[in-house]
Structure 1
């Protein structure tokens, strides 16, 4: 069984210790969901595990053959390569094997009489068999199709950031490493691709550790939850729902223990104040215990809930109305004669295909993008806040507290009481020592949380959210969901996060592309179930129709048969050798089985021999599959 063992991992960032002395084992078939608040060190831990961090301390121990694949939030790809070339440009053995085979096949086809070219081709072919690489290119195309990447010859440099992430995801999936590390794999995926990825990872043979905000994804995939909190790593068995229950129990136990420590500390402090002297060994031991207790009491740290209790301005009856709106961008239809009345206190979720225009609709509503034709009417009482996918420009040398005091020194809560900026920052998990921190020292997620706080400080009554789950941690999302549920205004959210949409939206606009927009009332997961059922019924009807046409069709004797594709010269040579190679493998398997009868109770020899038989069986099956494939093109 392949494992990764970590010992005493420690990582600091400036004056902040992200984690200290972490030790753990990742076993084969582990499905680990890594969670924690923004800035707790999740991505840093992934970088350490993938050995992409040179500043951490501790040891990562694996076998020499242990392989790791890592999807970063920003994959590094060569812009000059095509998508297919970029996927096969990885350092994994299977990629170099495929590239080597293609080169030697081309050389052998051009020089069939050259013994050196023939030998190189045969070696490359054997390597393809050994690594089961024959179907890798087809696997890549399947994965890219499921991730909605259609033109595999398109240059990487022409792709959007979201498309590059999907290419990076395809690259690590096709590697099939012993440990697959994914940092926010569902970002920029639509719900079809997320569902496919769930099914793919559920069947994954190696170990998996991933960071995600998608709680449904965590529930479906994870069999362990690891939580980074205040430099410690807490391990829980089960999925996200199991984690919630187990964490509550852990916190209750720790709070009870802290209460006992504080009570004992008060007793011991009273004893010390009486003038305790080390006149005996027992008294000295008690003094030592007191000093140790003094060091530990009051050190319990627990994750606090982010409490958003901000007030807002009154919203009138007229909010937003679009009348016969039309919009095209880059020769693509976004809105086509689209009319929509958005009223006070509505909760609208927007989802659908990538690139279909969901963000463009928010840009239209926020008056950042003009319509080609039609009308947009905004109510006079509307005060809008727009949480965009890209955080506004923030000077790196600006301090956290100054960024917020640009809005105001204080705001009022929903009961009319004043809340200072300092109090707000603490409610948003920015402790006092961070208030003067330069913004450039914050993590990406902490910057997004600060940006959200600034928007809410403006006390809007219409809130536009564009993919808020991409960068906020689960704790922040949970409180944002609660804030929206008590928000006396209108909320319009673009998201692919099923859990988040189920919590915040009661009606949906689904963008299907080319200006087609569906409307649905109810939960997002109900919509997906309906779509899946309709798709299944349509497929069943289509199959019935095809079967009926097939059964009623009379085949003509003179019907021309499709011409078969001929084998290349190299493929003909390969085909001629395959039958003999298959026979030789079968003989080896038979000999090994005969040998096993003489091993008696020597379980080590029996186990090793069985492993060898399994390996030969797999190779034989591969060659048989290849023989069957090539035989289809024999004349």
Structure 2
């Protein structure tokens, strides 16, 4: 049974058409994810479905007596309201008035909003979004309409929301960029693309496969049309006689083939080789500590970033992730410790909130203020070409920024950061408000980015896709290093928790209460604290020791591989396809060899300093 039906929907804003006679329906209990690039009308579709915006044409019908709740992308609250009142607003009934408040408080605690009396004006944008989410979820609804519900949720909260929506018996329509979230919850994906709506009865993984099949079929049909058109054109060139009905029908078929529209393909997004050279000294943090009052955010953190590092920083909201990024940027001084930044380092910072934008500027002028031309592997290209590659076609480039959607402004801001050619890229919650396709483009770009990437993110898919090392804030200012992406971190963290629980249980069974340390513990802790005050001998980390033992063999193997590729290239001189592939493989091996040589030089230098008995504070 359909709860909601939209038929022949049309909607335009000024000169931009969002929907061209599209139709959509929502069945009982369905969980539907809406995706598409920023500016295609995802949020508009949700507002129309919620009855908050009128279409230009078409009909919207809903079952009688259905309760619908809508979570906006940017919530607005009544002035001088406090947190608990905002969550309870519209949710108190005669049936639930005795227990609704305790439910609201429990949900707020889960979403890390512990001060129920705090005025909403004092909340950050992320906190406001979580208060609005609590208000929406607390309602008794038949349909939940959620616009970016995972924005500003840490991984633990996103997992909680995932479980909640799986148990929810009503229907859900949501816009989200979280691909793991879509995979886990949605039974159908709706894609908005070039004014059309495509429905796929699948989760996100299934959608990717079925979209590829749809596009392949469209291309095959276009090839057939072109072949027929070529045949018909040859017939026309021979001279069509228009006197008979048969000949007129032939001419009409030619004109229909000629005037048919070819399928529109997605624009390519390329920003290759927009970079600056990175020297030997990169970014180094030595004994960094930072507190606000009694709140310890970072305590004695040391790390030297390597040239190809892909670092993910995770932790609960408010734990200090953004503060750490600001310290690296030099925008926030540490209380203790030293920040060293190499002379060749050029930092690019994509902040959690967009930098100030002059909304009266045209899109192209905003980019031209960075550079009129940008060097790429194919030579210099103009700002206009760069915008087009980044999904801003010519008809939008001369639009003022004020007319762009929030997501389009975020994409424009990202392009500006990348065009500044940084070699150390700091991304603070890059997935907030960026559409999935732009995220895929960014991920592909980062694969070949010849510099350091440091990303604060709660997006599990993004972290798995991009990062190779995780630093997790684990309480009291402590950052713990994990190798791999988010899934690797999660596995290692769960194993560590299980081992800790087993250890505590074992201690309890041996006559000591679980969770209590032996008397030797304070002494050991005192020694540990004291050792921080004294110089310590410089030594390899576990990873550095392992690399030092194996890197010469890896270099030798790469050199051998390059020689083998060179021999194969000589043999394949007459086979262009194989030659091209071998050249690419050789280039990749040479790139990896260069990285390994830089790592070897760093480790050799460190080994010499260790042998000389150097110490660190």
Q: Same fold (TM over 0.5)?
A: yes
Pick the aligned partner of 1:496 from 443, 458, 470.
458
Mapped to 2, the partners of 1:12 and 1:422 lie a distance apart of 25
Alpha-carbon shift at residue 499 of structure 1 (Å): 0.7
3-state SS of paired residue (1:382):
coil
Q: For 1:175, what is the secondary structure of its paired residue?
A: coil
Give the direction of change, closer, same or farther, for the CA distance of 1:422–1:522 in structure 2 (3 Å limit).
Answer: same
1:219 Cα deviation from its structure 2 partner? 0.8
Shift of 1:278: 3.5
Q: Is the 8 A contact 2:2 2:25 kept in 1?
A: no
Contact 2:9 2:55 in 1 (8 A): no
- Determine the structure 1 residue equivalent to 2:108: 144
For the Cα contact (< 8 Å) 2:466–2:485, is it kept in 1? no
Match of 1:529, SS state, is: helix
**What secondary structure is seen at the aligned counterpart in 2 of 1:252?**
helix
Q: Distance in 2 between matches of 1:430 and 1:209?
A: 27
1:41 maps to 41
Q: Which moved more, 1:470-479 or 1:522-531?
A: 522-531
SS of residue matched to 1:205: coil
Distance 1:202-1:541 versus aligned 2 partners, 3 A rule: farther
Question: RCO greater where, 1 or 2, for CA within 8 Å and sep 6 or more?
Answer: 1
Match of 2:127, SS state, is: helix
Answer whether contact 1:48 1:56 (CA < 8 A) is retained.
Answer: no
CA positional deviation for 1:261: 1.4
Q: What's the offset of the Cα at 1:309?
A: 0.9
Counterpart of 1:460 in structure 2 is 422
The match for 1:328 is 291
- Cα distance change of structure 1 residues 135 and 281 upon mapping to structure 2, 3 Å threshold: farther
Does 2:384 match 1:408?
no
For 1:239-258, list aligned pairs within 5 A. 239-258=203-222
Measure, in 2, the Cα distance between the counterparts of 1:326 and 1:390. Answer: 25
Residue 324 of structure 2 is aligned to residue 361 of structure 1: yes
The question of whether the paired residues in 2 share the 8 Å contact of 1:310 and 1:411 is answered with: no
Q: Which residue of 2 is the match for residue 482 of structure 1?
A: 444
Does residue 308 of structure 1 match 2:271? Answer: yes
Partner of residue 355, structure 2:
392
Determine the C-alpha separation between the residues in 2 that align with 1:297 and 1:5. Answer: 29
Check whether the contact 2:183–2:203 (CA below 8 A) recurs between aligned residues.
yes
Bigger Cα displacement from structure 2, 346-355 vs 519-528: 519-528
**CA offsets, 1:151-186, max 9 Å, x none?**
223222222111111111111111131111111111
Question: Aligned-pair distance for 1:490?
Answer: 0.7
The alignment status of 1:449 with 2:390, answered yes or no, reads no
Q: Residue 33 of structure 2 contacts residue 188 of structure 2 at CA under 8 Å; is this kept in 1? A: yes
Alignment correspondent of 1:378: 341
Picking from 268, 271, 274, the partner of 2:235 is: 271
* Cα shift readout 1:485-537 (whole Å, capped 9, x = no counterpart): 11111111010111111111111111234322221112211212333344456
For residue 468 of structure 1, give the secondary structure of its aligned residue in structure 2.
coil
Kept in 1, the 8 Å contact 2:424–2:453? The answer is yes
Which residue number in structure 2 is paired with residue 519 of structure 1? 481
CA–CA separation in structure 2 for the residues paired with 1:133 and 1:214: 35
Task: Describe the superposition over 1:522-570 as per-residue Cα deviations: whole angstroms up to 9, x where unpaired.
Answer: 2211212333344456567778989999x9xxxxxxxxxxxxxxxxxxx
The Cα of 1:331 is off from its aligned counterpart by 4.8
CA contact (8 A) 1:311 1:416 kept: no
CA distance in 2, matches of 1:10, 1:291: 28
Partner of 2:68: 68
* SS across alignment from 2:138: helix
The answer to whether the 8 A contact 2:229-2:254 is kept is: yes
Contact 1:310 1:457 in 2 (8 A): no
Alignment of 1:68-467 (within 5 A): 68-90=68-90, 95-97=91-93, 101=94, 128=95, 135-298=99-262, 300-329=263-292, 331-413=294-376, 415=377, 417-467=379-429
Corresponding residue of 1:51: 51
Distance in 1 separating the partners of 2:85 and 2:74: 18
Work out the number of aligned pairs and report it. Answer: 513
| Residue 443 to residue 337, structure 1, CA distance change in 2 (3 Å) | same
- Change in Cα spacing, 1:548 to 1:479, as seen in structure 2 (3 Å) is same
Deviations 1:55-102 (A, max 9, x none): 543221112201211111111222422222111112xxxx242xxx4x
Question: What does the per-residue CA deviation read over 1:215-262, in whole Å, with 9 as the maximum and x for residues that have no partner?
Answer: 111111111111000011111111111111111100000011111112
In 2, the alpha carbon distance for the partners of 1:266 and 1:177 equals: 57
Say whether the 8 Å CA contact 1:261–1:297 is kept in structure 2: no
Distance 1:525 1:358, change over 3 A: same
Question: How far off its partner does 1:267 sit?
Answer: 2.6
SS at structure 1 position matched to 2:431: helix
SS of the equivalent of 1:396 reads coil
Distance in 1 separating the partners of 2:201 and 2:54 = 31
SS in 2 for 1:354: coil
Gaps of 5+ in 1: 102-127, 552-635
The separation in 1 between residues aligned to 2:57 and 2:507, in whole angstroms, is 65
Report the Cα distance in structure 1 between the residues aligned to 2:445 and 2:108, rounded to whole angstroms: 38
Tell me by how many angstroms 1:134 deviates. Answer: 5.2
- Cα contact 2:10–2:55 (8 A) shared by 1: no
Greater CA drift, 404-413 or 135-144: 135-144
Determine the structure 1 residue equivalent to 2:613: none
Say if 2:92 and 2:100, in contact at 8 Å, map to a contact too. Answer: no
State whether structure 2 residue 10 is matched by structure 1 residue 18: no
- Flag structure 2 segments of 5+ consecutive residues without an equivalent: 514-617
SS of the counterpart of 2:324? helix
Change (3 A) 1:541 1:86: farther
1:29 has 2:29 as partner: yes
CA distance in 2, matches of 1:457, 1:136: 51
Largest Rg, 1 or 2:
1
Q: Does the 8 Å contact 1:320/1:379 carry over to 2?
A: yes
**1:558 corresponds to which residue?**
none
Using structure 1 for the length normalisation, give the TM-score. Answer: 0.77
- SS class of match (1:182): strand
TM-score, structure 2 normalization:
0.79
Query: Are the counterparts in 1 of residues 33 and 186 from structure 2 also a CA contact under 8 Å?
Result: yes
Deviations 1:451-493 (A, max 9, x none): 1111211211111111000021111111211111111111110
What is the CA-CA distance between 1:284 and the residue it aligns to?
2.6
Q: Tell me how large the CA RMSD over aligned residues is.
A: 2.3
